[in-house]
Amino acid sequence: MSINKRVRQIRKSKGITGTFVAKKLGIAVQTYNGYELGRRSIKASTLEEIAKILNEPIEKFFEDDLHETEKIEQII
């Protein structure tokens, strides 16, 4: 799962709106939606801020990618 989809999934699981996160980041809602929809790249610094707002360690946004890498390595 891509980082943008993971951000959306985690945010929704916490019952937090995209509007709330956008306001906390000080950006337009459309810009934030672009991050979640994959239309915009999320800078590392922005991802750190999103992680803080959602009260999650930044590693949480990479978990699925890490598990996929481990599966591929086991196959090889």
CA dihedral 5, 6, 8, 9 (to 10 degrees): 110
User: The tokens of 7 are what?
Assistant: 């951000």
**pTM, 2 dp:** 0.81
Distance between CA atoms of residues 52 and 36, nearest Å: 16
The DSSP secondary-structure symbol of 38 reads T
Tens digits of residue pLDDT in 13-68: 999 999 999 999 999 999 999 999 999 999 999 999 999 999 999 999 987 654 44
Output the domain CATH number for residue 8.
1.10.260.40
Neighbour tally for 4: CB within 10 Å: 19
Count of domains observed in the chain: 1
Range of the domain at 53: 3-75
Q: What single-letter DSSP state applies at residue 17?
A: -
